[in-house]
Structure 1
């Protein structure tokens, strides 16, 4: 058990997060984080005996002092455990935000690298990844226009719930009436969104979930017809639909996507190993993945992403090698490599004792295998984020061929553009480009609640979106 005591400050959340990174390396200790006269001090006790203490200077700047407190504690934890983390003391989900801030201050690349290495203690390969991704993102973000938005639409249904999933999603079997009720409510919100965006440029549209292709063919066509009617789809740079699970995809659905101007799709195997697919609750085979991917190419889908997860229960680096060999044969336009995260609301979290989790050293090997595979396919990293409770404290990386970057992924991650979000659990983010202030307007997560309270959800947006008076 870890006992935490704060003295002279109240940064409990931040201190807890950095301690959590060392879970598995230190089980019993008393940890004191102290701020006194701008001096940051960390003490670690075991069996009531002080074993490590460190002190570092803070400053009058509150943000810097908070960082210094975390950094000081991180150094004590490194000394006690003998372990250094690949991302140093960074715990946030958007590491590239730091680099973008440095870009805005016109800091030279070498100075940025030095700061990340020396102050944040980030490992050199991760520093290079951060800067490379931030540079790619910058080239996309610089094209943002005034009064431009992106649109997200959530479909919270899946054929089954995967072992590791914590998203707002419902198994679609025997929910026909609820799905129709959901689409009725979503139609109201789409009509509202169309009015709001009528005098704006839409840069990207993203339909995610859940699994949007869990809808049957008629429902999918109804949804896409609504989107085409109420949003200026043809002028959007990118229109993505997560086709996701191969067991939800038919040739007709792929034709419908093409017919309604969808120009980017995801077909997400997660792994190309049969035993793992069964273990994580997938109802398809690797053969199904290949078949569906080939259908998509034949129908004319020229921008296909594939999601993979490293660290799935029971998988070894050899299994990941096998996955990458098969992915290379398909030759997608982009891949997104996720490191397994033990999410609080997942079935995996509830039954951890039944599974053997992958060790950090093996995760590192797996990440190398996937990155090498991406480079072999002519891809470069363009998108990077992290999650809580990731195995080995690593990262998720999107790789793509030139010109195949997901604009929406970059916009949602870097929060430089307003995103109008529709559907259960969707959170609209209103960005003030001058102050960078972000206001969030959430929809309720529960599908029944969303259906019953759709008018309230629309009213929330009317109050939260500042320039509606120009539209309504």
Structure 2
């Protein structure tokens, strides 16, 4: 039985405690399946699973997983393990990340590292408790060790990180689920958006009472969809609001995700350079022209190469490039060709994403291709990417996963020495307060005891402009005291 041998499944749970893990565990084994979930407090099984082929499996209460004992997290873990073991036997496949369904597997490794465990102990723990493969468990342990070193540079007491969102793109890629809009539809409202955004940035400056950010990340969307003069005004405002950090006295990293090659120009890069941006991204996603055309990216492979060398010419010495494994129509051979071209450029860091099926669902007729891509084919793409990164002198420094990710794999960032993206680690590890501004952004206040409080901005651009005072008030409540 292949991993794609089920088109529908029904899951009934006795408690909502199990619903999240059950949905994502079944989805990991059967990414194309339609899953119907119900909660029935009267049923005897803790979980009842029925697959469309007629196979069924029930997790019955017993001394170890009966309702109410042991604690909720342990019960959930045991029930998930039983469902995993059944599906692994049914399909003849084991998942690389075992029973883990969350987006931050390295957090488990980090917690063990803080408790004094070394690589071998962490690897054995992840294998034993979550059925993670030895390869992925060891990867998580090594990344945790590298993250620990980088995070030691942060000011946890008085520092924070600042995110600024520009929710516009030249066009919307067919796989994208982010809160971004084609710039052509908003050309007449960009100035209104910037006016609201500037007010929010200035409010953050006042609310942080002279504290300075450790890192600043401007993302989106595609920030360089802004005109050069607009970018200049934005970066000037950041400098005026946080002068000590941006002057070089305290800022560890200043990133602009330039992103789409079709929006990058010499004039815009010159603006970024003049404002001392230390790290940028040039993101082709693939170096196969047929795929670029297919997924709605309106640039050529040559545009990506041109943008990269233009940035090098202007003096940028920390350039990231993003790739996606599992794009529709691509094979491992296509990925190898892309990696060959990336190696010829030799960027300073490389982020390799596995296509998330939730995004692939927006591809219409291409959905089945994205879902049916063989597990071993994506595995080959992931391994080839790791090998290429190693040849370029990079090591993995951060990792995260997404819901319904293709092949149940992961997204990994690789970097040369001293070129790792600190903000990327902070997003995953949640150890420092991140104050985010712009439509669709999410701020996270991290308390000394590890507790996290979130504040979300509305996603709709027009609504963000209209409700900017409310967004600022949310920040005030989040940051008071």
The change in CA–CA distance for 1:30 and 1:191 in structure 2 (over 3 A counts) is: closer
1:324-335 alignment, distance < 5 Å:
324-335=339-350
Contact 2:13 2:46 in 1 (8 A): no
TM-aligned CA deviation for residue 101 of structure 1 = 1.5
Normalising to structure 2: TM-score of the pair?
Answer: 0.90
Looking at structure 1, the residues matched to 473 and 164 of structure 2 have their Cα atoms a distance apart, in angstroms, of 18
Tell whether 2:102 aligns with 1:92.
yes
Equivalent in 230, 235, 238 of residue 219 of structure 1: 230
1:427 aligned partner: 442
The change in CA–CA distance for 1:375 and 1:56 in structure 2 (over 3 A counts) is: farther
Secondary structure in 1 aligned to 2:184? Answer: coil
1:470 aligned partner: none
Looking at structure 1, the residues matched to 237 and 270 of structure 2 have their Cα atoms a distance apart, in angstroms, of 17
1:8-407 alignment, distance < 5 Å:
10-23=17-30, 57-58=64-65, 60-145=70-155, 146-231=157-242, 232-234=245-247, 235-343=250-358, 347-348=362-363, 352=367, 357-407=372-422
Tell whether 2:451 aligns with 1:442.
no
The change in CA–CA distance for 1:400 and 1:333 in structure 2 (over 3 A counts) is: same
Contact 2:9 2:52 in 1 (8 A): no
Contact 1:427 1:442 in 2 (8 A): yes
TM-aligned CA deviation for residue 52 of structure 1 = 7.6
Looking at structure 1, the residues matched to 397 and 480 of structure 2 have their Cα atoms a distance apart, in angstroms, of 32
CA-to-aligned-CA distance 1:140-197 (integer Å, 9 cap, x gap): 1222221110000000000100111111111111532210100010010011112223
Number of residue equivalences? 465
Looking at structure 2, the residues matched to 35 and 317 of structure 1 have their Cα atoms a distance apart, in angstroms, of 48
Normalising to structure 1: TM-score of the pair?
Answer: 0.92
Q: Which deviates the most, 62-71 or 292-301? A: 62-71
Looking at structure 2, the residues matched to 455 and 29 of structure 1 have their Cα atoms a distance apart, in angstroms, of 41
Looking at structure 1, the residues matched to 114 and 310 of structure 2 have their Cα atoms a distance apart, in angstroms, of 44
Secondary structure in 2 aligned to 1:173? Answer: helix
TM-aligned CA deviation for residue 401 of structure 1 = 0.2
Contact 2:354 2:409 in 1 (8 A): yes
Secondary structure in 1 aligned to 2:398? Answer: strand
Contact 1:6 1:33 in 2 (8 A): yes
CA-to-aligned-CA distance 1:235-282 (integer Å, 9 cap, x gap): 311000011001111111111001111100000010111111111111
Looking at structure 2, the residues matched to 351 and 426 of structure 1 have their Cα atoms a distance apart, in angstroms, of 30
Q: Which deviates the most, 359-368 or 57-66? A: 57-66
Looking at structure 1, the residues matched to 386 and 189 of structure 2 have their Cα atoms a distance apart, in angstroms, of 41
Secondary structure in 1 aligned to 2:104? Answer: coil
CA-to-aligned-CA distance 1:187-208 (integer Å, 9 cap, x gap): 1001111222343231100000
Looking at structure 2, the residues matched to 371 and 254 of structure 1 have their Cα atoms a distance apart, in angstroms, of 29
Question: Structure 2: any 5+ residue segments left out of the alignment?
Answer: 1-7
Looking at structure 2, the residues matched to 69 and 356 of structure 1 have their Cα atoms a distance apart, in angstroms, of 26
Contact 1:172 1:214 in 2 (8 A): yes
